Amino acid sequence: MIIVMQQGASDAEVANVVQQVEATGFRPFINPGVERKVIALLGEVDIDKVQLVDRFSTFSGVERVQLISEPYKLASRHSHPDPLRFELGLHPDATRVTIGGSELVVMAGPCSVESEAQVVGVAHAVKAAGATLLRGGAFKPRSSPHSFQGMGLDGLKLLATARAATGLPVVTEIMDPHDLDEICRYADVIQIGARNMQNFSLLRYVGETRVPVLLKRGPGAKVSDFLLAAEYVLAGGNHRVILCERGIITFEDSTRYTTDINAIPVLKRQTHLPVVLDPSHATGDSAYVPSVAMAAVAGGADGLIIEVHPDPSKALSDGKQSLKPDQFSVLMDKLRRLAPVVDRELQAPAASLA
């Protein structure tokens, strides 16, 4: 941490800061700058540094305080130099999948679970095209209270039925901590939605389980906030976290969100956790999903999560951004050609879509 003093800070102000630094256990180190003095904190003290930044910022004569190291430790690549690989699909009915390695992991399925026919049908279709996980929402976060809110527990059961039929592990979202036990029973991967990325209470509950977590980036969250949110889950002892970029909110309005493609290499550099991208939410328009999916994989993503619906015009949510099974299959063929260019493999498609 460094403390930058204001230009013209008095000797008394500097002396006070030095004394306060000493009181924390750090050794203060004054850089005698010509324009401004800068005080560095040396040593290793077990103290909340984020809070310290805030506190030193209030002292008289201080211009600003900066952390030199990241505020997240568990999510940082410094403590885990190698990329993390782990298995998904611990449920007996599931076929296991490894994320974080050379396997390109594609999770696909409908935004919302709507019926057995729909979810089992889509599961077969996406599996045939080469997807290895099934996504589907039973509890849906909707901007309006008047919109369809999901099938709830019945939806979870239908996802389990689809898993039994296809072997695809299931990714589904949690919204309410009261549903934790039920979701842990049915899901192979628990999704934390973008709007709950800083629902710290929910992050803690999920961190206490040992079910892998797909953490979606909040549309207004910086990469550093995103990693701190992951830190909440990791701090509970659950170290199997997948980070999901799904678009950020910007001034651009030709798409629903702006895909932060830069975040792919940034995250791969800063953390050992696997990174996937959701082109469906990040664009909001199925016409743009294939381009952005290809871009994500070429840019280094470990996987994708894509909305697929048998009949998007009848979807109860987010139909506009859903691919039809045949469009998804065409995309998967392109991804299969792309994968080896970036040293990845994508599962071969099943013999037929029928």
Report the nearest approach of a second copy to the CB of residue 311 (Å). 9
Q: Which of residues 168-187 bind a second copy (CB under 8 A)?
A: 175-178
At a CB cut-off of 8 Å and minimum separation 6, what does 205 contact?
177, 180
Binding window for a second copy (CB under 8 A); candidates: 72-80, 86-94, 102-110, 122-130: 72-80
Q: Which of residues 104-133 bind a second copy (CB under 8 A)?
A: none
Binding window for a second copy (CB under 8 A); candidates: 93-101, 121-129, 130-138, 335-343: 335-343
69 scored as a contact of a second copy (CB under 8 A): yes
Q: Which of residues 254-273 bind a second copy (CB under 8 A)?
A: 254-255, 258-266, 268-270
Of the two residues 15 and 287, which places its CB atom closer to a second copy in the complex? 287
333 scored as a contact of a second copy (CB under 8 A): no
Of the two residues 94 and 331, which places its CB atom closer to a second copy in the complex? 331
Name the β-bridge partners of 245.
277
Half-sphere exposure of 249 (CA within 13 A, CB side): 6
Cα–Cα dist 86/88, whole Å: 7
**Contact pick of 11, 23, 58, 351 for a second copy (by CB under 8 A):** 58
| Residue among 61, 286, 289 nearest 277 (CA) | 289
DSSP E strands: which ranges in 96-208?
A: 97-99, 105-109, 133-135, 170-174, 189-192
Of the two residues 168 and 315, which places its CB atom closer to a second copy in the complex? 315
Query: What is the three-class DSSP state of 262?
Result: coil
* 118 alpha-carbon distance from chain centroid: 27
295 scored as a contact of a second copy (CB under 8 A): yes
Binding window for a second copy (CB under 8 A); candidates: 70-78, 116-124, 125-133, 157-165: 70-78
329 scored as a contact of a second copy (CB under 8 A): no
Of the two residues 342 and 353, which places its CB atom closer to a second copy in the complex? 342
Binding window for a second copy (CB under 8 A); candidates: 93-101, 123-131, 163-171, 248-256: 248-256
Q: What are phi and psi of 157, to 5 degrees?
A: -65, -40
**Contact pick of 160, 298, 330, 350 for a second copy (by CB under 8 A):** 298
291 scored as a contact of a second copy (CB under 8 A): yes
Name the β-bridge partners of 134.
108, 170
Report the first-to-last Cα separation within the chain, whole angstroms: 61
85 scored as a contact of a second copy (CB under 8 A): no
Cα-Cα-Cα-Cα dihedral sign, residues 22, 26, 31, 37 = negative
Q: Residue 329: what residue type?
A: S
